């Protein structure tokens, strides 16, 4: 069968040129609104200062001399008492203000721990991230588009988002999890992109604008309810940030990066990961991915990627429905006809299809469904070492009743897997509802 992929299959090619531009504009509008509020407050404060100064001047130069001239009090001591009372009245709020501010500042410190939802992870998640120690040659970066910068012959898709988007995603996952039967275990993994693990802090401090994906992922985890077990692969990727874990011309992680995500998954669930060092590696040269497509950068054209994939420890095959109305066919887990070009990442699970089911003879008695974006394609094959069946459900192309699908196929575990770009794009998060009828 010829490997067929349409241009719109890669959601993110359009995303880097549209959705992120919208996010950037939204951020600029937000900054302008904040600036207007600050200016308005400054004007109010200035007006208040002028009014107070005017009253003080009127009191000092008109009212006090007037009553003094009337001889209301000729005793210096009484005048001194009046002045002392004025000073005390003026000073008193100043001495009490710090106590009020201290209480206001301290309150979140005592309340914050109670806002963290209880975790049900098999291995408790330690919500602390290791800062990537990114190798830096000191060279400059250039902006290829408004949202993509190029440094060290690689492209980086910049990230613009904040807590509200993180909360929106977490709330959606909580809602989706609650739609599933109580005996179904639900996991969630959000994967950072190359910018977080490959762009030096020096460049970000120097003017390359991008938000912290570490903060974003932690905020998502903090807002998941007890129904959802978080899988945090951040530290695994951070520890290997100088390895080839992301492509330089494409927005995806490599098979090696996906393997480290798989290790984090196994560690959280208490599973034994397959040993990639015992696998045979196959390489395909000449990959020019989505970020090259978005920029047509000659620098990227001269620095193509290599797509590696690894043999699996068990006998496997897959059943695929390319789209909902497509017939089911039996295929290999990896697309055997993949070559260099713009679709080389499609070697993993034949690209983005509506449904792709990996069957393995690992005899674990376990099955899992991945409700996913394209980052799961490089990740899923490794699960064949731990699960008899791995069901990839792409919410962009599959629609139906997921709960019924799980019952029909005897599946008791579900993993929602998205990269930070998907998790922070409302239209992408909303489209997950396609799998719930």
- Render pLDDT for 392-417 as a digit per residue (tens, 0 to 9): 999 999 999 999 999 999 999 999 99
Bridge partners, 282 (sequence order): 309
* Amino acid 60: pLDDT: 57
Instruction: Note whether 338 and 367 are within 8 A (CB).
Output: no
Rounded CA separation 59/72 (Å): 16
pLDDT greater at residue 14 or residue 242:
242
| Axis crossing angle, helix 163-178 with helix 213-222, rounded to the nearest 10 | 40
Element (H, E) at 330: strand 329-331
Q: Tell whether the model's pLDDT for residue 97 goes beyond 60.
A: no
Q: In terms of DSSP H, where are the helices of 190-254?
A: 194-198, 201-205, 213-222, 234-239
The burial class, CB within 10 Å (0-12 / 13-18 / 19+), for 390 is buried
Q: DSSP letters along 139-203, please?
A: ---EESSSSEEEETTEEEE-----HHHHHHHHHHHHHHHHTS-TTSEEEEEEE--HHHHHS-HHH
Report, as an integer, the average pLDDT of 161-166.
97
pTM: 0.76
pLDDT greater at residue 13 or residue 265:
265
For tokens 């290599």, the residue is: 306
Chain Cα centroid distance, residue 55 = 54
Instruction: Note whether 204 and 274 are within 8 A (CB).
Output: no
Rounded CA separation 246/233 (Å): 14
How far is the CA of 121 from the CAs of 262, 392, 414, in angstroms? 16, 22, 14
- Render pLDDT for 199-226 as a digit per residue (tens, 0 to 9): 999 999 999 999 999 999 999 999 999 9
- Reduce the DSSP state of residue 320 to 3 states and report it: strand
* Amino acid 12: pLDDT: 44
* Amino acid 40: pLDDT: 65
- Render pLDDT for 231-249 as a digit per residue (tens, 0 to 9): 999 999 999 999 999 999 9
Instruction: Note whether 224 and 117 are within 8 A (CB).
Output: yes
The mean-pLDDT minimum among 33-37, 262-266, 336-340 falls in 33-37
Instruction: Note whether 406 and 181 are within 8 A (CB).
Output: yes
Tokens of 123: 């291995």
């Amino acid at each position: 069968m010829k490997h067929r992929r349409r241009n719109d299959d890669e959601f993110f090619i359009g995303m880097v040129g549209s959705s992120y531009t919208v996010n950037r504009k939204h951020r600029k509008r937000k900054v302008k609104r904040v600036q207007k509020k600050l200016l308005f407050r400054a004007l109010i404060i200035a007006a208040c200062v002028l009014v107070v100064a005017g009253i003080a001047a009127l009191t000092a130069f008109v009212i006090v001399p007037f009553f003094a001239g009337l001889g209301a009090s000729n005793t210096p001591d009484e005048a001194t008492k009046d002045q002392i009372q004025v000073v005390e009245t003026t000073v008193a709020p100043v001495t009490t203000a710090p106590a009020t501010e201290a209480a206001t500042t301290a309150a979140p410190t005592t309340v914050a721990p109670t806002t963290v939802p209880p975790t049900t992870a098999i291995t408790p998640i330690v919500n602390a991230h290791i800062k990537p120690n990114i190798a830096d040659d000191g060279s400059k970066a250039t902006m290829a588009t408004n949202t993509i910068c190029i440094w060290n012959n690689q492209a980086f898709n910049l990230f613009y988002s904040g807590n509200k988007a993180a909360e929106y995603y977490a709330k959606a996952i909580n809602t989706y999890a609650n739609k599933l039967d109580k005996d179904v275990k639900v996991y969630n993994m959000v994967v950072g992109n190359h910018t977080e693990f490959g762009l030096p802090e020096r460049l970000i401090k120097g003017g390359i604008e991008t938000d912290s994906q570490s903060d974003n992922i932690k905020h998502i985890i903090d807002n998941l309810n007890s129904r959802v077990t978080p899988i945090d692969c951040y530290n695994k990727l951070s520890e290997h940030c100088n390895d080839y874990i992301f492509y330089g011309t494409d927005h995806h992680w490599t098979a090696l990066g996906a393997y480290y995500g798989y290790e984090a998954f196994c560690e959280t669930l208490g599973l034994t990961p397959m040993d990639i060092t015992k696998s045979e590696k196959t390489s395909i040269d000449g990959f020019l991915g989505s970020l090259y497509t978005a920029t047509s950068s000659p620098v990227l054209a001269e620095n193509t990627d290599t797509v590696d994939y690894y043999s699996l420890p068990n006998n496997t095959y897959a059943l695929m429905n390319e789209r909902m109305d497509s017939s089911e066919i039996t295929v290999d887990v990896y697309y055997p006809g993949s070559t260099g070009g713009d679709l080389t990442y499609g070697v993993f699970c034949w690209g983005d299809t509506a449904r792709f089911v990996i069957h393995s003879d690992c005899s674990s008695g376990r099955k899992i469904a991945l409700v996913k974006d394209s980052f799961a394609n490089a990740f899923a094959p490794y699960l064949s070492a731990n699960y008899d069946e791995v069901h990839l459900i792409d919410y962009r192309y599959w629609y139906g009743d997921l709960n019924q699908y799980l019952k029909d196929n005897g599946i008791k575990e579900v993993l929602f897997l998205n990269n930070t770009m998907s998790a922070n794009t409302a239209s992408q998060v909303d489209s997950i509802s396609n799998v719930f009828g």
